[in-house]
C-alpha cells in the first residue's frame, strides 16, 4: 500500500517510522512544511492517507481523498461541527476511518461504558477526568468527548467543564469534564460513577503514543479496499456486531 502522511509532529514521526518497518506499506510522501506543502508535489498517488495533524489541514486532506477516491485514516482532534459534517460528506465518496483515539483499550472502554451507563445514570453522578502533555492544544480531549458520548449518546445530561467558585449542590443531570495538562503524559482518562456509599471507576492509561500508531496502522489495513463510508474503531474490532 502506498501511504501519504499529513503532518510530521510527534505522532507523524512515529507513524513514519512504523511504516518504514512494515512489509506491506510504503510511505510515498509527507504533506508538511518540511517535506511537501501540497499533495500535488508528491509524484505517486496514495492508496491510503493518514492524517493526525491539526484541523487547518482538513480541507486539503479531504479535497485529495475525494478527488482520488483513496481511503483516509483520520485522527485529528479539535474539529468543529462544520468540519465533522465535511468528514461525513466526504465518506460518501471514499472510505474513512475516523476516531479521536485509535487505542484498542479505549475502544473497549467506550463499549463497556455504553453497556453499564444505562444502569447507573440517574442514581450515580458521572465525572470524566483526562490528563495530557503540556503541548496538547485542545481541551477537553477528543477521547474524553468520545467517552462522554458513549455514556450519554442522546445528550440528556448537561456537560460542565470544570468548576470554580461557590457552585452549590451538584445537580444529578450533569457530566463533569476536567482537563489536566502537564509534562509528557501521553493520555490518561478516568470515568467515575459516584453513588450513595459506593463509587465505580473506569481508567485507561497510555504509556506511549505507539499504541495510537499501532491502532492507526490497523485501521489502514482495515480501510484499504473498503466501500465508501464512515468507519470507526468499533467496526475494526467488532465488524457487523459494532
Known active-site residue 36:
no
**Residues 29/44, Cβ–Cβ less than 8 Å:** yes
CA 51 to chain centre: 11
Q: Which of 230, 219, 189 is nearest to 73 (CA)?
A: 219
How far is it, in rounded angstroms, from Cα 48 to Cα 17?
16
Known active-site residue 189:
no
How far is it, in rounded angstroms, from Cα 116 to Cα 200?
10
**Residues 115/200, Cβ–Cβ less than 8 Å:** no
Q: Among 13, 133, 136, 178, which one carries the catalytic annotation?
A: 136
Q: Among 132, 145, 189, 204, which one carries the catalytic annotation?
A: 132
End-to-end CA distance of the chain: 26
Catalytic residues: 132, 136
Amino acid at each position: 500500500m502506498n501511504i501519504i502522511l499529513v503532518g510530521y509532529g510527534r505522532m507523524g514521526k512515529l507513524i513514519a517510522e512504523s511504516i518504514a518497518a512494515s512489509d506491506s506499506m510504503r510511505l510515498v510522501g509527507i504533506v508538511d512544511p518540511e517535506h511537501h506543502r501540497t499533495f500535488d508535489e508528491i509524484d505517486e498517488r496514495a492508496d491510503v492517507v493518514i492524517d493526525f495533524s491539526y484541523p487547518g489541514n482538513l480541507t486539503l486532506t479531504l479535497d485529495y481523498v475525494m478527488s482520488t477516491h483513496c481511503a483516509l485514516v483520520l485522527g485529528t482532534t479539535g474539529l468543529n461541527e462544520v468540519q465533522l459534517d465535511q468528514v461525513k460528506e466526504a465518506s460518501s465518496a471514499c472510505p474513512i476511518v475516523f476516531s479521536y483515539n485509535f487505542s484498542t483499550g479505549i475502544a473497549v472502554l467506550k463499549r463497556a461504558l455504553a453497556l453499564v451507563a444505562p444502569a447507573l445514570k440517574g442514581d450515580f453522578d458521572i465525572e470524566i477526568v483526562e490528563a495530557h502533555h503540556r503541548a496538547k492544544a485542545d481541551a477537553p480531549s477528543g477521547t474524553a468527548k468520545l467517552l462522554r458520548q458513549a455514556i450519554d449518546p442522546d445528550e440528556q445530561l448537561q456537560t460542565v467543564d470544570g468548576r470554580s467558585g461557590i457552585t452549590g449542590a451538584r445537580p444529578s443531570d450533569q457530566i463533569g469534564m476536567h482537563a489536566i495538562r502537564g509534562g509528557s503524559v501521553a493520555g490518561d482518562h478516568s470515568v467515575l460513577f459516584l453513588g450513595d456509599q459506593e463509587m465505580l471507576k473506569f481508567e485507561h492509561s497510555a504509556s506511549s503514543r505507539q499504541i495510537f500508531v499501532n491502532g492507526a496502522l490497523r485501521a489502514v489495513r482495515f480501510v484499504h479496499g473498503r466501500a465508501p463510508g464512515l468507519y470507526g474503531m468499533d467496526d475494526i474490532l467488532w465488524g457487523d456486531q459494532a
